[in-house]
Structure 1
Amino acid sequence: MDATQQEILERLNASGKGTVLEALDISVVEATKEKVVASMPISSKHLQLVGYLHGGVSVVLAETVASLASVMNIDTARQMAFGLEINANHLRPKRDGQLFAVATPIHMGRTTHVWDVRISDEKEKLICISRCTVAVVDRPPDDGDPLFKK
């Protein structure tokens, strides 16, 4: 039985509890094989010392949607996805508001996936462009599927 989009979102967001996703308030709002979208509000914990969005936070958001996009395209009972390489161009500074990261595929190989990630704000202004390569590896024996752990 295939899970509904709502069930997938609930599983993905629940699996983020206690992780960097929870710490940075990242929520997955759409997840398909072709696209993953996440949102993140900008608060003081997302800022660098002079009060602007920290570039590293944008990179965390970008790698999050890219890795989850790979998860949507693998057999999670047998495989895992890990960020292998990422680059980011920070195009515009931001102090507050909401960010939306959208990952779409560039290349879908057997052991690597490459994702284009666009991070925009609530006014649809582009904040960051990233490309992330994700490694697809075999899951260790008896590790189980984290999306289905109780």
Structure 2
Amino acid sequence: MDRTRFGEMQCPIARSLARVGDQWTILILRDAFNGLSRFDEFEESLGIAPNILAARLKALVESGLLEKRRYSERPARNAYLLTECGQDFHQVLVMLQAWGNTHFAPEGKSVALVNAETGLEARPIVIDAISGRSVLDPAFRNRPGPAANERIRSRYEDGL
């Protein structure tokens, strides 16, 4: 399926993939969280072709994850900064990193999340902000939301 169809689906995961489901896109966001903001910085960090980088940055701006801000008029140069929507993706990257370290790093961790105050390695989990419980607890289930269509309703009708 193409991006347009994913973006038109009612599923929130499909809609998210329409915006960040490309490998380069996620790596650009990773680098943005690590402080990179300029085209040449992303290009050097990723070893990505300029035309591919330009297309991905444009898509990230159009999707509202990055904003383009001019920092030089001559020559014309832009910085790409995380928006609030882009900032919210950080927790996804943290969990993706932890998952990759656990399942796909037989040589050991190349990057570890640590508490800067204690130096101890973090073990991230996803919790419910209301109850403080892990969302992996069997008490949590998906159910249709108020905007769900019939397909979504039938998929999750036994959510509660």
- Please tell me the TM-score bracket, short chain as reference: under 0.3
Q: Which has the higher helix share?
A: 2
Q: TM-score, normalised by structure 2?
A: 0.23
Larger Rg: 2
Larger relative contact order (Cα-Cα within 8 Å, sequence gap ≥ 6): 1
